[in-house]
Amino acid sequence: MKISRRHLLAMSGATAAIIASAKLQAAEKAAAATGLKEAYKDDFLIGAALSASIINKQDPKLVAIINKDFNSITPENCMKWGEMRNEDGSWKWGDADAFVAFGSKHNLHMVGHTLGWHSQIPDSVFKNKDGSYISKAELEKKQKEHITTIVGRYKGKLAAWDVVNEAVGDDGKMRDSHWYKIMGDDFLVNAFNLAHEVDPNAHLMYNDYNNERPDKRQATLDMLKRLQKRNTPIHGLGMQAHIGLETNIQDFEDSILAYSALGLKVHLTELDIDVLPSVWNLPVAEISTRFEYKPERDPYIKGLPKEVEEKLAKAYESLFKILVKHRDKVDRVTFWGVSDDASWLNDFPIKGRTNYPLLFDRQQQPKPAYFRLLDLKR
């Protein structure tokens, strides 16, 4: 029987599809057996930020994902001042203790987040009842009490701390926060010294967003050099890495080299890649920023188009190629969340959007980006 050219082409296409499907199934099977933490065990830690909801609900599916793919965890919110302290200054330990118990049970590297931040902290910490600022000595006393109490409680259990968070503004100047207005650079110096005195074995980091960008990178380097001149015990630099599909990934390589030249270990601390249309000129993680909801700003309610899914996978792949290249300088890569359904980017900077920034989808299934990262290590 003679087979036409059209039928040959159809058979060829079908064969290619079968081969592609077989490759995908093989990749998924390998992933089920391997997981990210195993694939990158010779490179750096692979972490995830966990919400209090994840910790308290202990959903078996999510716990299984965490155990298979991650060997480090960071609390999303439960160790921030506003979550740990009542208005009168008394402590709320429940969620933070549950986080540490979870990490200890599953033998996970744990990072504390965060000891000093301008956000999620009441004005009453800084101001008198008449609205005037308290004295520097008064704030130093409050800072000492806060840091020594929390670091002391978890000494020997948490391997690392984001000691100070986001002290440099997007304008390349020191952020004009209440902390900085009252204490200046002493805000940072004291925070690191206090944490180090209480737990000398903890790895202490400065953490910020957009500090891979050349302008903010330089401002951050200038600050770090000032602090190092004062013998401040800073051991690591955290790049949050809240980025978008159009972010210049090369900036990360330049930043890894620049920060490690100061003797600091580099961490990607809050990695996610926003796939939705930007409503500003650059990715910003200042949580007070909000924009109005409009349908055109939320285009993927019914699912992420394949071409965008591919862009996301390529973006993650490009970034991880750089990280693996500089594995000797990078300690950890932590994703800000586990799966898309619970990502903070569903509500930031516009409440109610449908975002897809992580490696696991809204049904907690691994996405093409996940398999792309596994493929890098095969």
- What sign does the dihedral 344-270-32-65 (CA atoms) show? negative
Picking from 357, 374, 340, the residue whose alpha carbon sits closest to that of residue 28 is 374
Catalytic-role residue among 76, 166, 212, 309: 166
> 166 an active-site residue?
yes
pLDDT digits (tens, 9 = 90+) for 130-162: 999 999 999 999 999 999 999 999 999 999 999
> 87 an active-site residue?
no
pLDDT digits (tens, 9 = 90+) for 304-336: 999 999 999 999 999 999 999 999 999 999 999
1 pLDDT band, cuts 50/70/90, is: low
End-to-end CA distance of the chain: 44
- Does position 78 have pLDDT exceeding 50, yes or no? yes
Which burial class, exposed, middle or buried, applies to 166 when counting CB atoms under 10 A from its CB (0-12, 13-18, 19+)?
buried
Q: What percentage of the chain exceeds 90 in pLDDT?
A: 84
pLDDT digits (tens, 9 = 90+) for 177-204: 999 999 999 999 999 999 999 999 999 9
- Does position 3 have pLDDT exceeding 50, yes or no? yes
Tokens of 80: 């921030």
According to the model, what pLDDT value does residue 146 have?
98
Look-up: residue for tokens 């902390």?
A: 179
Q: What is the largest CA-CA distance in the chain?
A: 96
Indicate whether this model's pTM tops 0.85: yes
Catalytic-role residue among 76, 212, 270, 309: 270
pLDDT digits (tens, 9 = 90+) for 233-261: 999 999 999 999 999 999 999 999 999 99
How many Å apart are CA 354 and CA 299, to the nearest integer? 8
Q: What percentage of the chain exceeds 70 in pLDDT?
A: 89
Which burial class, exposed, middle or buried, applies to 86 when counting CB atoms under 10 A from its CB (0-12, 13-18, 19+)?
exposed
18 pLDDT band, cuts 50/70/90, is: low
- Does position 5 have pLDDT exceeding 70, yes or no? no
According to the model, what pLDDT value does residue 341 have?
96
Picking from 207, 222, 342, the residue whose alpha carbon sits closest to that of residue 268 is 207
